[in-house]
Amino acid sequence: MYETVLIPTDGSEGVGDAIEEGVELAALTGATVHALYVVDSRDYGTVPDAAWFGLQEALKDEGEAAVEAVAARAAESGVDVVTTIEQGVPHDVIVDYADAEGIDCIAMGTHGRSGVDRLLLGSVTENVVRHTGVPVHVVRVGDDSTA
């Protein structure tokens, strides 16, 4: 049924439920997991170039830890994994990655921005669901007030 399952991760503790669901789905279907971390370029547009280099390295390290957490969980279940770190607007990168890699299913959590940020920018998951033709397995993570 599925040959590839994309698990976007932001490295937060709450995303663990989505990782678990995505890896289980991949294990059941014999799929390869694609772990994707996106550095949100909108958050750092005003950072001076001199400071951006050091910050970019820190964000890359954070991304590597996030995708490695997915890879470790996939390895526990004997699931093959591909890890990727990208930069851009998260929902755009996720949708574009799914298209480019021929992803069969996206497994992701509902947490992320809340309050005014969510009203202004929308949730990443909501935007992915609206803009992709790929099935999205949505996992509620964390407190209902942040979902």
How many CB atoms within 10 Å of residue 11?
A: 15
Confidence of residue 116 (pLDDT cuts 50, 70, 90): low
pLDDT of residue 142: 67
* pTM, to two decimals: 0.86
CATH topology for 4-142 is: Rossmann fold (3.40.50)
CB 26 within 8 A of CB 79: yes
Q: Average pLDDT for residues 36-51, to the nearest whole number?
A: 79
Cα gap 115→137, rounded to integer Å: 24
**Dihedral of CA 76/141/118/126: which sign?**
positive
68 burial level (CB within 10 Å; 0-12, 13-18, 19+): middle
Kindly list the domain boundaries of the chain, sorted by start residue. Answer: 4-142
Confidence of residue 146 (pLDDT cuts 50, 70, 90): very low
Confidence of residue 145 (pLDDT cuts 50, 70, 90): very low
Question: 20-33, pLDDT tens digit by residue?
Answer: 999 999 999 999 99
Confidence of residue 147 (pLDDT cuts 50, 70, 90): very low
